Amino acid sequence: MTSILTVPQPIVFFGGTFDPVHFGHVAVAHAALTELEPKSLIVLPAGNPYQRGRAPFASAQHRVEMLRLGLGLGLDPVNAINAVDANGNIRIDERELKREGATYTFDTLTEIRAEFGNAHPFFWLIGSDAFAKLDTWHRWRDLFKLTNFAVIMRAGTDSSPEWGVEFSAEIRSRETTSDQPVPNAGVWISLKTLPPPISSTAVRAALANHESIRAMVPLSVCDYIDKHHLYRFA
C-alpha cells in the first residue's frame, strides 16, 4: 500500500469512547499505521463526550485497560508480533479522562499543538459517520487550524450525506489526496481501508442478549469483559 507523502512524519490522533474497543477500532488503528506511517499514533479515550448526553457505560479505567489489551500495548516483543502495536508506535493519552465537564476536541488539540509545536503535521482519525457531522462539533472550523483529518469509511453509513451548503463548500475545498504534500493542518484525506461494520453499540447489545461477542472484539477484551462483568444489563 502506498503511504502518504509527509516529511516529517505525522502525528496521528484517534479519539473515541471505546465503550468497549472492538475490531472496527483495531482496523482503524492498523489502517492509520500502514497508510499514514506516523511517528506515533496517540489514542484519546473520551471523558464525557458532550454530544452523547450520557456518560459512557464502563468506567474510564476499564475502557483504558480494554484499549491496552485490544491494541496489544505493553506486550513483550514475542507476544507483540501479531499485535497492532507490534512496533510500539501507539500510546494512550488519558488527558480527556481527567478533564472536568464536557470533552471538546478543540481544547484537546489546542493543548497538544502547544506541546508539539509546528514540527509535525497532525491527523485526526475519524470515521465517515462522525466526519459527516463535523459541523456540530465545538469550533469545528477552528479545528482545521490545528489539524488535518484522515477519514476512514464506516460501512453501513451514508457515503454521500446531505450536507448543508456552507459545510459542503468548506469540506470540499479542503479535500486533498495522499500523493500531495501535506501541511501541518487544514486538509482532509480519505484512507483506503474499509474496517469491518462493528460498533460498540452492537457489542453491548449482544452482551445484553447473552450472545457471543467473539467475532466483534479481540479475545483478550472478551475475557476482560467477562472477568469484570461489564455491560451486564438487566
For residues 114 and 146, which CB has a smaller minimum distance to ligand ATP in the complex? 146
For residues 181 and 214, which CB has a smaller minimum distance to ligand ATP in the complex? 214
Which amino acid belongs to residue 113? Answer: R
CB of 206 to ligand ATP, least distance (A): 12
* CB-nearest residue to ligand ATP: 127
26 lies in the site for ligand ATP, by CB under 6 A? no
Of the candidates 19, 35, 65, 96, which one interacts with ligand ATP according to CB under 6 A?
19
CB of 128 to ligand ATP, least distance (A): 7
Cβ-count burial of 98 within 10 angstroms (0-12 exposed, 13-18 middle, 19+ buried)?
exposed
Cβ-count burial of 137 within 10 angstroms (0-12 exposed, 13-18 middle, 19+ buried)?
middle
Do 105 and 137 touch, CB atoms closer than 8 A? yes
Of the candidates 17, 103, 148, 178, which one interacts with ligand ATP according to CB under 6 A?
17
User: What is the size of the binding site for ligand ATP (CB under 6 A)?
Assistant: 20
Q: Which residue has the cell 455491560?
A: 231
Do 154 and 195 touch, CB atoms closer than 8 A? yes
81 phi and psi angles, rounded to 5 deg = -55, -40
Binding piece for ligand ATP, criterion CB under 6 A, among 10-18, 34-42, 59-67, 160-168: 10-18
Of the candidates 154, 171, 216, 218, which one interacts with ligand ATP according to CB under 6 A?
154
Cell digits for 186?
Answer: 487544514
CB of 7 to ligand ATP, least distance (A): 27
Of the candidates 61, 87, 180, 201, which one interacts with ligand ATP according to CB under 6 A?
201
CB of 76 to ligand ATP, least distance (A): 28
Cell digits for 24?
Answer: 472496527
129 lies in the site for ligand ATP, by CB under 6 A? yes
DSSP states of 95-158: HHHHSSS-B-HHHHHHHHHHHHTTSS-EEEEEEHHHHTTGGGSTTHHHHHHH-EEEEE--TTS-
**Minimal CA–CA distance to 112: which of 135, 88, 143?**
143
Of the candidates 47, 72, 127, 218, which one interacts with ligand ATP according to CB under 6 A?
127
Instruction: Give contact residues for ligand ATP (rule: CB under 6 A).
Output: 16-19, 24-25, 28, 126-127, 129-130, 152, 154, 195-201
